[in-house]
Structure 1
């Protein structure tokens, strides 16, 4: 499965991506997680220190991966992949380190070639943590054009659900087979009902609703890894989301 995780800024998609990676590994699946945010923090959420995250090598721009490309997936993971404490392999596709360095289109092209079929023999799940917004869906060729599922993380607000609704036609135009919403940070008693009602109103398939958890907040503030045992209610919902995605993709 090739799973893109998207959403508006602050929705919690990097935390969700890390929790999904850990949960998939716990099921015995081989996971490659690709951080495409120009301000990469997925490594921290997956248990690396700040220093280790900063040291993750960035993929060369516009590299074509595959038997007809510049390198094979094995070569690329061997040189640029970083093992993480949650058990997934991390790749960093994009990183902005200086002003005026130009656009990041080449990095997105590399990710697109990775998602074609290049990682099929190295990963059961390829998980892509995208930068905030929808611009990556409008790039030439579409960064996530080869994804199987697009998961739109939504905070409990009308704007969060509207972002998911606006994503649906873009993903369909790219040919992504499935796009679903995932409610996150549900704190009020009526938050689940809010997601269910508003998603139904705007035609957004709802994969689940992740509850608010104080330990998730604490992990974000301290920069530590959020493990399954520290937030059992969150993990239970993540497991249910994985089961939903498995049922979608067969």
Structure 2
């Protein structure tokens, strides 16, 4: 299942996404974690030192490889140069799976050892000096969207994406790629403003959204969040000595995390599993095609010099039955 953590800058979404990833690893679940935030901090939150985090390969720099692999033998895609971030798979496309080894993971993912198990970590890559004034961050996040469009995942497998802050996630169709979106909100007016934006933008796309109240100090904070977001409030998280020690670079074993926070993380997992059970692969594929056609008309056709609508395979539906391994 695919899970996103979103929220305004400083809300604690990276910390909570890293705790959730640790929780999954402790329960021996296969996990691919993706840092898609313009501020790349997920690696550090998962215990990498500064040098290790800086050495993570940038997905944005591997776009040619990613495109060439994913297009496979799809006859509707004449070259990797005509693929854009929204290009959907079709007959002959190479699909990604959580547990496999493939050239995309080899180039873009690194193994991180956590208490209880290993996870794969991928990162879009930070803004570089060469990007300043000539590129937007969404060009890097496009590599993540392309991979999610070609990913077949099962109910006991997890992709966890730490998204860019605020409502920037709506600059593409990637916000529809998730079974569950956890919006991390502080109990303040600014803290819930991003929630209102997300709720409004996602209304027509069947996005499952739950709020995780963070930095909650007491019942008054809980009451405030409940009043502002209603039944979308799933769980709240307070101050954590374990997290504070982790942020100082001195984390204890994960099983020493406070019991109430372990319960909160299990609540997140239960909600995600329930949402995955409602996944509609046909709608999932239809939304993918919708955003591809929209991007093709808006800018993709002009940029590539091709009719990108012709890349759509009308008979293809992404799903578990399409997960038969294909030859490289």
TM-score (norm 2): 0.67
What residue number does 1:82 align with?
Answer: 110
Is 1:129 the equivalent of 2:157? no
What pairs with 1:227-242 in structure 2 (closer than 5 Å)?
227-242=254-269
What residue number does 1:208 align with?
Answer: 235
Report the CA distance between 1:163 and its aligned residue. Answer: 1.4
Report the CA distance between 1:246 and its aligned residue. Answer: 1.7
Is 1:41 the equivalent of 2:41? yes
Is 1:151 the equivalent of 2:179? no
Residues 144/233 of structure 1: CA separation in 2 closer, same or farther (3 Å cut): same
CA distance in 1, matches of 2:191, 2:150: 31
Report the CA distance between 1:190 and its aligned residue. Answer: 2.5
Deviations 1:44-94 (A, max 9, x none): 111111110010000135443634586764211122211112222100113
Residues 191/231 of structure 1: CA separation in 2 closer, same or farther (3 Å cut): same
Residues 244/208 of structure 1: CA separation in 2 closer, same or farther (3 Å cut): same
What pairs with 1:44-59 in structure 2 (closer than 5 Å)?
44-59=44-59
Aligned pair count reads 242
> Structure 1: 5+ residue runs without aligned partners?
none
Residues 10/45 of structure 1: CA separation in 2 closer, same or farther (3 Å cut): same
Query: Which structure's residues are more often helix, by fraction?
Result: 2
CA RMSD of aligned residues (A): 2.4
Report the CA distance between 1:225 and its aligned residue. Answer: 4.9
> Structure 2: 5+ residue runs without aligned partners?
81-93, 97-101, 278-328
What residue number does 1:5 align with?
Answer: 5
Q: Structure 1 residues 145-154 or 110-119, which shifts more?
A: 110-119
CA contact 1:147–1:176 (8 Å) conserved in 2: no
CA contact 2:60–2:141 (8 Å) conserved in 1: no
CA distance in 1, matches of 2:145, 2:23: 25
CA distance in 1, matches of 2:9, 2:157: 28
Report the CA distance between 1:224 and its aligned residue. Answer: 5.0
What residue number does 1:194 align with?
Answer: 224
CA distance in 2, matches of 1:28, 1:189: 34
What residue number does 1:100 align with?
Answer: 133
